[in-house]
Structure 1
Amino acid sequence: MSRSDRKREHIQYALTTGQSRQAGFDDIAFVHHSLPNTSVSDINLSTKIGELLLSSPIFINAMTGGGGEETLKINHDLALAAKETGLALAVGSQMSALKDPKERKTFEIVRKTNPNGVIFANIGSEATVSQARDVVEMIGADALQIHLNVIQELAMPEGDRSFKGSLDRIQKIASQLEVPVIIKETGFGMSSETIRLLETSEAIAFDVGGYGGVNFAKIENSRRERRMSYFDDWGIPTPISIIEATSTTSRTVIASGGIQSPLDLLKSLALGANAGGMAGYLLKLLLERSLKDLIDEINIFHQDLRMMMCALGVTNIHKLNTVPLVISGNSYHWLQARGFKPEKFSRRQRNDEQKDG
């Protein structure tokens, strides 16, 4: 099977396997505040990834490209949605365009469609510095995502079987590239041990890509004669991975993996993430409904975030990490066993607007 055929097949499997609602967000609950002293009109949704300023904490995370006209149309529409709503946008892995120049247009379309937007290039940890520069130049990217997809590759019938030297390549790219580098998992989460290793690079941010969103192990298992079923439930749920990451590093942490609602995103931000990437949920909206429905849904996300932030008594993203919340269920037990003291989140001291003068 060609790489472009596999890209198209991945899209269909992503739509049919869907999202399991197993990311663990239901284990997180906000402590209600009856005197918020805030106004919806005062809410500021801007945030930063490293020094990159974003007008919204939502961004369209890496999905596709390299699959011919079908993926060109998807990336055009995603770029248009990003332009209309002010979101940043990441493309899928561009290795296909390096191997087959005919596929370049399926990625270049995002910059043509959204010339002034914030766009992230994307490549795997097998890439060289030269290849990293090529994919950034291809779309005039503002940053580069380097994705980690060990489990997907192992489950993929034609996937890689050796991952030696990945950290060394990441370190070289991050130190020599002219744009900031973000390290991204692809659905299996990042542990504190992984974050400590990645901190040896000059990456500005870590996208935890937690378990609970599009499951690439299940997608690849659907393509196998003999399923590697032990990988279907492999990984660290997104809220847990956010806490493992934010407890380990002072660099920017990005949430992704199973974010399906404004409440999921708000919980991610309150746990310490600076932004949240969405992929499968938005792709399904686009392909099964329409571009207009996708744009409308993003605008509703923004409205709902403002409403909930007002209810919590905070006017900007940064102050969300002072809001008390309660962690229960499997998330509580995991964090307690790993020594991350989940009870500290319920005892946080609220930074009330009354104290801001």
Structure 2
Amino acid sequence: MIVSSRKEDHIRLAAEQQKNPAPRAYDDVSFIHHALDGVNRDRVSLDTQVGPLTFNAPFYVNGMTGGTETAMTINRNLAIAAASAGIAMASGSVGIALDYPETAASFTVIRDENPDGIVFANIGAGRSVADAKRAVDLLSADGLQLHVNAVQETIMLEGDRDFSTWLPLIEQIVAGLDVPVIIKEVGGGLSAKTLLALRDVGVQFVDVAGTGGTDFGKIENSRRDGGHDDYSFLHGYGNSAVQCLLDARSAGLIGGEAVDDFAILSSGGVRNPLDVVKSLALGARAVGVAGSFLTVALNEGPEAMTEVLEAWKSRLGEMLALMGVTAPSQMAYTDILIRGESRDFAEDRGIDLACLARRSQERK
């Protein structure tokens, strides 16, 4: 099956990218250390509210794969670990299972191994309300990730390059489903302009999913013949999660009671728990992790994956205590500095960064 072959290519090429990771905007973000601000670790709760759902930690296993035997192994290992550690998890795009039901088991294994946990289905923009409902039903899902991937589709040999229907279909799906619908990029980022357009059609949950993680444009270009049939000039195209979160803040979409009904999640290039904490400080409600977990799930099995998830939870609790906060939402009051390309981006966009460096004082 051609589609299954493409999914196997995605797994192999995504794993290869983890060996030579892209530069990351998270390195542009640093904290001002206040040595006496720490609190008792026992006071820290990692519980995170995302709409009607309560996550046991402010990070989740983001959508990766499905549709092949290799994908089934990955999803089984991730689901077992997510169930054991109490971490929310998203599937890869289930579109292949809707079109080829014989591949469905590589997705339903997630719910089989994690019957009581928070699970999100995933499907691409451009699908109908009926398909969206089928995706949710397939996994008895608690929510739906609806991914937008115009750059990937542009480069993909089999790509659909009519993007004009996406926003109207998103509006229909959000209105037609009775579970949260999270609009998610796949590595190109969601700008403030895009976020405002999504909010205007009723979207309440987004994952900005910026550059720095798995580059699906690069993956699709690797599947081409090379030579003159080359899209390498689009490698890394888009905006980082750091830039997207700064952009969202400048548009009034982060901070304050007025945006309590618009939850911004973040992903893209998250390699360690400190990146999660930085995302929270920038205003993300919760943080998705994919590539950093892929090789463990693929090569080391569910026990190792569980150890990784538990370690991330422990480190996050310790870092929040170190920074003097008792809940992930309070990271929004910590003092941060923005440097490098992220600072250049903010200055070009007219975003005030100085206020981020003195938030703890202003809170007092």
Give me the TM-score of the superposition, normalised by structure 1: 0.95
Q: Distance in 1 between matches of 2:52 and 2:23?
A: 32
3-state secondary structure, aligned to 1:326? strand
Match of 1:264 among 275, 279, 295: 275
User: How many equivalent residue pairs?
Assistant: 352
Describe the superposition over 1:159-196 as per-residue Cα deviations: whole angstroms up to 9, x where unpaired.
11211111000000001111111000000111111111
Describe the superposition over 1:237-292 as per-residue Cα deviations: whole angstroms up to 9, x where unpaired.
12111222244322111110000001111000011001110011101122233322
Aligned to 1:242: 245
Asked if the contact 1:118/1:142 (under 8 Å) is kept, the reply is yes
Asked if the contact 2:77/2:305 (under 8 Å) is kept, the reply is no
3-state secondary structure, aligned to 1:147? strand
Deviates more, 1:173-182 or 1:286-295: 286-295
Q: Distance in 2 between matches of 1:21 and 1:38?
A: 35
Alpha-carbon distance, 1:72 to partner: 1.5
Alpha-carbon distance, 1:293 to partner: 1.9
Q: Distance in 1 between matches of 2:123 and 2:293?
A: 21
Report the AA paired with residue 222 of structure 2: S
Unaligned 5+ segments in structure 1 are: none
Identical-pair percentage: 37
Match of 1:322 among 325, 333, 341: 333
Over 3 Å counting, the alpha-carbon distance change for 1:269 and 1:137 in structure 2 is same
Aligned to 1:47: 48
Deviates more, 1:121-130 or 1:246-255: 246-255
Give me the TM-score of the superposition, normalised by structure 2: 0.94
Q: Distance in 1 between matches of 2:200 and 2:121?
A: 22
Q: 1:18-37, aligned counterparts within 5 Å?
A: 18=18, 20-37=21-38
Describe the superposition over 1:271-326 as per-residue Cα deviations: whole angstroms up to 9, x where unpaired.
10011100111011222333222211111111111111111100101111000111
Alpha-carbon distance, 1:41 to partner: 0.9
Aligned to 2:230: 227
Report the AA paired with residue 76 of structure 1: R
Alpha-carbon distance, 1:351 to partner: 7.9
Q: Distance in 1 between matches of 2:299 and 2:107?
A: 22
Q: Distance in 1 between matches of 2:300 and 2:103?
A: 26
Aligned to 2:356: 345
Alpha-carbon distance, 1:341 to partner: 1.2
Q: Distance in 2 between matches of 1:266 and 1:167?
A: 31
Q: Distance in 1 between matches of 2:250 and 2:106?
A: 38
Runs of at least 4 residues off by over 4 Å:
none
Q: Distance in 2 between matches of 1:101 and 1:63?
A: 19
Q: Does 1:306 align with 2:317?
A: yes
Report the AA paired with residue 157 of structure 2: P
Alpha-carbon distance, 1:201 to partner: 2.4
Aligned to 1:208: 208
Asked if the contact 1:33/1:312 (under 8 Å) is kept, the reply is yes
Aligned to 2:256: none
Describe the superposition over 1:135-171 as per-residue Cα deviations: whole angstroms up to 9, x where unpaired.
1001100001100010011111111121111100000
Aligned to 2:93: 93
Unaligned 5+ segments in structure 2 are: 254-258
Describe the superposition over 1:325-344 as per-residue Cα deviations: whole angstroms up to 9, x where unpaired.
11111111101110121222
CA RMSD of superposed structures (Å): 1.4
3-state secondary structure, aligned to 2:247? helix
Asked if the contact 1:23/1:238 (under 8 Å) is kept, the reply is no
Alpha-carbon distance, 1:37 to partner: 4.7
Over 3 Å counting, the alpha-carbon distance change for 1:351 and 1:53 in structure 2 is farther
Q: 1:62-211, aligned counterparts within 5 Å?
A: 62-67=63-68, 69-211=69-211
Q: Distance in 1 between matches of 2:267 and 2:186?
A: 9
